[in-house]
Each structure stands twice: as C-alpha cells, then as structure tokens.
Amino acid sequence: MPNSDNPVSPTHVTNPNSILTRWDITDAELTAIVDSNSSLRGMMMGYVAEVKLTRLLEANADVSESMKYDDHDRTQKGDRVIVYKGRKFVLEAKSLQTNSIRKDGARWTAKAQVDASDRRTVIFPDGSKLNTTCLRVGEFDILAVNLFALEGKWDFVFAKNSDLPRSSWKQYKPKHRKQLLASLVPVTWPPEPPFYTELFPILEELVRDRSA
C-alpha cells in the first residue's frame, strides 16, 4: 500500500525537481519547519514577496528587462532591477515587522525595517565615511513593502526613495542623517503618503523627472 506521507508516492503528483522530492519530506513537514522557525519564515516570506513583485513587474509590457543582483554582491543594492520605458530602475522589497502591527477600526499601522542586512562602510559625497546598516538616500529608486502580514494577501504599497523618512539617530552627524534613510519606516493601510498602491504611476513620475 502506498505511503501517503512520501512525497514521491504514486498518490502524489510528483515533480522530480520539487524541494519536497529532493529533501524527501512532505509538505506538512516543511510547513511545520517553517511555522516553528520564525527567522526562517521571515526569510522565506521575503523571497516569496520578491517573486510576487517580479510577476507584477513583468506583466507590464513597458518593462523590457527584469533581473536581480547576486545576494552576495555588496556593491549592488536592490532586490529587483528593471528597465521601464528604456530607463533603469532599482526596487527594494521589504516586509512589515509583525510585532509592530496594530489595527484601529479599519486602519492598520505597522513599520517596515528598511536597512541593509549587515553593517558596511558608507562613503558620502564629501569623502566622509560611516559604518552603518542604514541605506543611503538614492541607493535605490522605489521601496516596495508587502502587506501579507496584515490579512494574508500579497498586496504591496510603494514609495519613492526620495520621499522616505531620514535617519534621526543622534549619534550620527546631521549632515549624515539627512543622507541616510530611517531604518524603521511607518506604513499604514489604507496607504498614506509617501506610500501608494499603484507602482506604475510612480515609475512614470520618475521617468518624467529623469527626462526633465
């Protein structure tokens, strides 16, 4: 009698390239692993969000190229790089911090952690340097925050890098704070500026800015 817990059992539709087949585990076992390890769950959700964002981007006929830099290349920032109407744009994808989520009536509030995965030395235009996890103003073009943690739906809100709040950490010099993004960015649903539900009007605005 076939073992229904075996991912390669005839009772299952088996893809030989599936991670379940390669690791010889069931979907229930993988689900239990993810559910019991919050750091793994957060990492996986981040990568799933990138897939969802990529689908959204590549469904638009004006996106002629779409790619991702190697995760280990610290010289290139951005989770998705596209060419839209002949111009290159870099998008950074982030998730909500689940412990920051609050609901008041129909309004959700939360925070997205918008920083680098590790500390690195940032060099400013005046030649000064700072070791920080903060991202620089202008280091990417658009921030995409997935809202899956709110209601289990792959909705996104988008904001221009230039409209995001700056770092307020007092140990940084004022000249550096104004060139660094805040590591925690407030997000609401329904969205409020600088966030919007529609991505492509923001891209259109950036195209106009670059053409001016």
Both ends of the chain: CA-CA distance in Å? Answer: 70
Q: What is the DSSP letter of 16?
A: T
Residue 17's pLDDT is 87
Residue 76's pLDDT is 61
Query: Helix, strand, or coil here: 55?
Result: helix
* Torsional class of 183: left (φ above 0), alpha (ψ -120 to 50), beta (otherwise): alpha
- pTM of the model as a whole: 0.87
Residue 73's pLDDT is 57
Residue 69's pLDDT is 75
pLDDT tens digits, residue range 6-58? 444 434 546 888 999 999 999 999 999 999 999 999 999 999 999 999 999 99
Residue 118's pLDDT is 86
Residue 143's pLDDT is 98
Residue 8's pLDDT is 42
- Determine the Cα–Cα distance for residues 89 and 109; give it in Å rounded to an integer: 28
The residue written with tokens 């340097």 in the block is 129
Domain limits, the chain: 19-211
- Positions of the chain with pLDDT lower than 70, given as ranges: 1-14, 70-77
- Determine the Cα–Cα distance for residues 142 and 158; give it in Å rounded to an integer: 7
Indicate the helix (H) or strand (E) that contains 172.
none
